[in-house]
Chain A
Amino acid sequence: MDLGPHAGFIIGAYLVTAAVVAGLVAWLLVDRARLSAQLKRLEKAQKR
């Protein structure tokens, strides 16, 4: 695939998009894992 003289701009745009979306997904999943662990701990403590 020949992206012409502006290949750097095109590749850069796709890389920025991929990085932002990947960062967003990672943040949501890490947040979920952290909250799940915290909730489990709290629910266990409440049962005692």
Chain B
Amino acid sequence: MAVATLANPTRFSALAGRLLPFVLAAALITLAVGLYLSLFVAPADYQQGETVRIMFIHVPAAWLSMFGYGLMAVAALGTLVWRHPLADVAAKATAPIGAAFTFIALATGSLWGKPMWGTWWQWDARLTSVLVLFLMYLGLIALWRAVEDPARAARAAAVLILVGSVNLPIIKFSVDWWWTLHQPASVFRMGGPTIHPSLLVPLLVMAGGATLLFLALVLIGMRNELMRRRIRALGLRAAAAR
């Protein structure tokens, strides 16, 4: 299917509607398998003990907090460079979902940190840069709500998203560039993962399921946003006809 075909909001909405049940079903099945592996099959870690089970939700949420912002950065390029009609819809729909997953990453990280580090929070580079990411999501949501004209809001949000995307490499490499309480990368790193397969497999299955769920929620959010814009257009047309 041509990308130009997907640029038509009605066609995109219909296609998303057909895809959604499959993506949702795949997400739920993968998450069910992942939760079973995480809670009943994976062994306790030799250092963290049972607390390692928090990692099976914390790490996927942390990945998705960055994945969501990455999607928004691509969409922002779509708005500014290609003026794709769905680009701003995608970015706006992704923001609250990305914010929710970033909140999960922060909250579960804190719940892991208290028993493991002895503190709920530490102002180290990784934790602080993820908190900044969360605040950027909230700022963008506020921006879209504050500007009434969708075209103006889209351009302003796209610029802000691209400026904010400088935070993504800071988050990723913060554990290498600075001394942090947060441990360095143990999955996506040069030389391969340092995690034993008995813990790595449940982690990857949970990450796959969470990513499918994230994408399904973005599709629902995009269909909602398209409907919101159709309502606005109809309202403006009705007002002009009066």
Contact = CB atoms under 8 A, between A and B. Distances in A.
Given A31-B224, A32-B224, A9 B115 contact: yes
Contacts of A17: 57, 61, 104, 107-108
13 contacts: A6-B51, A7-B50, A9-B114, A10-B50, A13-B54, A13-B58, A17-B61, A21-B213, A28-B217, A32-B223, A32-B224, A35-B228, A38-B231
Name the interface size band of chain A.
Answer: 20 to 34
B61 A42 contact: no
Contacts of A9: 51, 54, 111-112, 114-115
A31 B120 CA distance: 34
Interface string A28-47: 11011001101100110110
Interface in B104-136: 104, 107-108, 111-112, 114-115
What's the dominant secondary structure at chain A's contact region? helix
Given A13-B57, A16-B104, A25-B217, A32 B50 contact: no
A12 B111 contact: yes
Contacts, number: 87
Contact of B112 (A13, A24, A29, A35): A13
The list of the 10 closest CB pairs from A to B, nearest first, reads A4-B50, A6-B115, A13-B108, A35-B227, A13-B111, A13-B54, A42-B234, A3-B50, A9-B111, A28-B220
Contacts of A1: 39-40
What's the dominant secondary structure at chain B's contact region? helix
Interface of A: 1-7, 9-10, 12-14, 16-17, 20-21, 23-25, 27-29, 31-32, 35-36, 38-39, 42-43, 45-46
Contacts of A23: 100
A43 B49 contact: no
B69 interface: no
B52 to A, nearest CB: 9
A34 B161 CA distance: 29
